[in-house]
Chain A
Amino acid sequence: MSKRLEIDYAGVHFKNPVALASGTCGFGKEMGEYFDIQRLGGLCSKGLTLHPRGGNDGIRVWETPSGVMNSVGLENPGVKHFMECDCDRMNRLDLVNIVNLGGHSMEDYLEAVELLNGCDLDLLELNISCPNVKAGGMNFGVKTEMARQVVREIRKACRHKLVVKLSPNAEDIVGLARACEEEGADGVSLTNTFLAMAIDIRRRKPVFDNVYAGLSGPAIKPIALRMVHQVAHAVQIPVMGIGGISTWQDAIEFIMAGATVIQVGAASFMNPAIAMDIIDGMERYLEENHIANISEIRGIL
């Protein structure tokens, strides 16, 4: 591989700008049986919470035209288990170790961040698309001021580089991204899944026990791309683009819209090694167009 794809994200070196999105690749173990995951630029861990979570009951996945809805409910082994069993292995891999953290109250977030201060990792990706149990279940990532509060407190407590993962369900995603920057986030990633719904007309009931679920996949790509474009224009901190990327052309679009790193999520369900095709395609594109480094085309629109 040439150096055409090498980039710097908030002071962290990526050998290429392609990472696997949280929740689609576990902690890298299973994917590693499929392809050489060390060809990836980065890997985002399964979303962790302070305590282990069993996740949601009922149907957890539902296919849509060009997309997929999920309602896993943050099933995960908890921060302590991750630190004992997975973190070292992820750190030993030649890729950027991005640890994703969610929470359902400020206290939970802060306790988890304190614990994670005790281990090494490259980037902490903060999932703020969780319901705040202390605010009537309102998602932390909807209201700018609630998100600001979370980022402010976590920034004070966290010794790691902090990337805030934005929800497309935000009331004002641009304003919310600006608030993250003002509170000291090192970067933002967007978007998380879109709140969506499916109904089983035979049973006359929602498909998901939780009623609503998160839509991802190519179905959301044009909307996510637009949001990345808007946010990248509004903030100075680097952006990770996420949302339905399934081809190298999609990835290049997100880079041109202003993303420094892109994450591949649902597309890995089409083919677990699809990120390899994306990396190869991007490399070829740069070579054919005589682009010495991908940063030359970042945010050109």
Chain B
Amino acid sequence: MAKIISNERLSKDFFLMKVEEENHAVMGQFYMLRAWGEYPLLSRPISVFDADEHSVSFLYKVVGKGTEIFAGLKAGAEIKLDGPHGNGFPEAEGKIALVGGGVGIAPLYLTAKTLKKLNPASKVDIYLGFSDQAILVDSYEKVADQVTLNVGGFVTDDIDPLQYDVIMTCGPEIMMKVLYKKCRSVGAKAPLYVSMENRMACGIGACLVCTCKTTAGNKRACKDGPVMLGSEVFGDE
């Protein structure tokens, strides 16, 4: 069990939870979180928002029973962390765009931080899309060269894929698909990495409920992903 350092409400549905945990989590990975005994039966896969050696932070949105329980946890309470799981975003350099929609912005914070640390000369731009209320814009501005905000519209309209060497995205599947199509239609050479959010059960690659059918065969979002090439996920559409 890990101790919760803080669990702050950022807007109506969004919360940021910081937990004490020795870890080596990298950008784009996730943990299976559980703050209850038996039920709900499944643990909840939540992306790493930020991490240092002694703590991990999770940005989450209340969407159901599990996240509702998370939202009620106070500092000092305990939570079970299992992870980190998944492959995470790849290391990259040059001009990089990170495109997030809704709670899909979560993994992009540590990703921007990591990419800038890897090569300070890299240009890391972040595109944040929200349906109503923007959150954490100041925080993202601190780790990126430029933050483009879109509230109520389509964040995919704001990006010119031709400006980038690499594009990474996390958000609703439809948003990531639109971005993939846009990249293809403008003839962007930049590889597009998408982080999949399929429903999971075991979280460790054993049960096959989070399978993505890709052009490179079936892939488990939890174990082979969550990060995959957009061309593999959406390539045949």
User: Do A and B share a complex?
Assistant: yes
Instruction: State the main secondary structure of chain B at its contact with A.
Output: loop
Number of interface residues of B (CB under 8 A): 24
With A55-B218, A68-B201 as given contacts, are A60 and B41 in contact (CB-CB < 8 Å)?
Answer: no
In the complex, what residues of B have CB within 8 A of residue A67's CB? 41
Q: Is there an interface contact between A34 and B204, defined as CB atoms closer than 8 Å?
A: yes
Q: Mark A1-26, 1 if CB is under 8 A from B, else 0.
A: 00000000000000000000001111
Task: Report the Cα distance A55→B219, complex, angstroms.
Answer: 12
Q: Mark A37-66, 1 if CB is under 8 A from B, else 0.
A: 000000000100000001101011111011
Task: Report the Cα distance A293→B137, complex, angstroms.
Answer: 63
Q: Is there an interface contact between A30 and B204, defined as CB atoms closer than 8 Å?
A: yes
Cβ-defined partner of B206 (8 Å) among A30, A54, A68: A30
Among the listed stretches B71-79, B126-134, B209-217, which one makes contact with chain A, having 4 or more residues with CB under 8 Å of it? B209-217
In the complex, what residues of A have CB within 8 A of residue B39's CB? 65-66
Beta-carbon nearest neighbor of B65 in chain A:
A63
Report the minimum CB–CB distance from B11 to chain A (whole Å).
Answer: 22
Task: Report the Cα distance A67→B39, complex, angstroms.
Answer: 9
Q: Is there an interface contact between A63 and B43, defined as CB atoms closer than 8 Å?
A: no
Q: Is there an interface contact between B41 and A72, defined as CB atoms closer than 8 Å?
A: no
Q: Is there an interface contact between B42 and A68, defined as CB atoms closer than 8 Å?
A: yes
In the complex, what residues of A have CB within 8 A of residue B223's CB? 30
Cβ-defined partner of B218 (8 Å) among A25, A65, A75: A75
A266 at the interface (CB under 8 A from B): yes
Q: Is there an interface contact between A60 and B204, defined as CB atoms closer than 8 Å?
A: no
Q: Is there an interface contact between B38 and A72, defined as CB atoms closer than 8 Å?
A: no
Task: Report the Cα distance A111→B231, complex, angstroms.
Answer: 37
Beta-carbon nearest neighbor of A244 in chain B:
B41
In the complex, what residues of A have CB within 8 A of residue B204's CB? 30-31, 33-34, 272
Task: Report the Cα distance A55→B205, complex, angstroms.
Answer: 15
B40 at the interface (CB under 8 A from A): yes
Interface residues of A in 62-117 (CB under 8 A from B): 62-63, 65-68, 70, 72, 75
With A60-B199, A65-B39, A66-B39 as given contacts, are A24 and B209 in contact (CB-CB < 8 Å)?
Answer: no
Task: Report the Cα distance A23→B42, complex, angstroms.
Answer: 16
With A30-B204, A31-B204, A68-B201 as given contacts, are A60 and B211 in contact (CB-CB < 8 Å)?
Answer: yes
Q: Is there an interface contact between A217 and B206, defined as CB atoms closer than 8 Å?
A: no
In the complex, what residues of A have CB within 8 A of residue B205's CB? 26, 30
Beta-carbon nearest neighbor of B202 in chain A:
A269
With A31-B206, A217-B41, A218-B38 as given contacts, are A55 and B199 in contact (CB-CB < 8 Å)?
Answer: no
In the complex, what residues of A have CB within 8 A of residue B199's CB? 59-62
Task: Report the Cα distance A272→B223, complex, angstroms.
Answer: 15
Q: Which residues of B contact A (CB under 8 A)?
A: 34, 38-43, 65, 82, 199-202, 204-211, 213, 218, 223
16 more A-B contacts (CB under 8 A) besides A26-B208, A218-B41? A24-B202, A26-B206, A26-B207, A30-B202, A30-B205, A46-B208, A55-B208, A61-B201, A61-B207, A63-B41, A63-B65, A68-B201, A70-B209, A72-B208, A75-B218, A269-B201
Q: Give 4 nearest A-B pairs by CB, closest first.
A: A61-B209, A26-B206, A60-B209, A30-B206
Q: Which residues of A contact B (CB under 8 A)?
A: 23-26, 30-31, 33-34, 46, 54-55, 57, 59-63, 65-68, 70, 72, 75, 217-218, 246, 266, 268-270, 272
